[in-house]
Amino acid sequence: MPDARIDITREICPMTYVRVKLALEGLPDGAVLEVRLKGAEPLKNVPRSAKEDGHEVLSLDALDDGTSRLVLRAHHPEP
C-alpha cells in the first residue's frame, strides 16, 4: 500500500517529473509513492530521473487501460 499517489497522465515534459519530484520531496524518507503515468516520455524519463535523484524504483507495470504504474521509494540523504 503506497503512502501517496500521484497521476501525471495529463502532464507533459518537463512537468511530468516536476510533479513526481515535488511529491517525493513531500514524503518522509522510506515512504512509497505510486505514480500513474502514460506515454513513452515519462515511461523512460521519470524512473531514470528518480533514480538519479537517489530514490528507489520498486516496480513498473503496464496496466490494461494503456497507462503504467510506477512505484517509488523516497530516499532523502542526510544534509
Partner 1 sequence: MLREDQVQRYGRQILLREVGGKGQARLLERPVRVLGRSDAGDVAVAYLVAAGTAVSGVPRDGALTGFAHGVPLDTFNVDAAADRPPFATLVAGPGEAASGVVVILGDAGLVFAGPDACRACLDAAAAGLRAGEPADAVVLGSLAALVLQRLALGLDAGEPSVICWRDGALHTDEAPRCPAHPSKI
Task: Give residues in contact with partner 1 (CB under 8 A).
Answer: 14-15, 17-18, 21-22, 25-26, 49, 52-53
Which grid cell is 75?
530516499
Give least dist CB 61 to partner 1, A: 25
Beta strands in the chain (DSSP E): 4-7, 32-37, 56-62, 68-73
Between 52 and 65, whose beta carbon lies closer to partner 1? 52
In contact, 12 and 42? CB cutoff 8 Å? no
Give least dist CB 18 to partner 1, A: 4
58 is catalytic: no
Cα 3 from Cα 34, distance rounded (Å): 8
Q: Which of 12, 13, 18, 63 is catalytic?
A: 13
Active-site residue set: 13
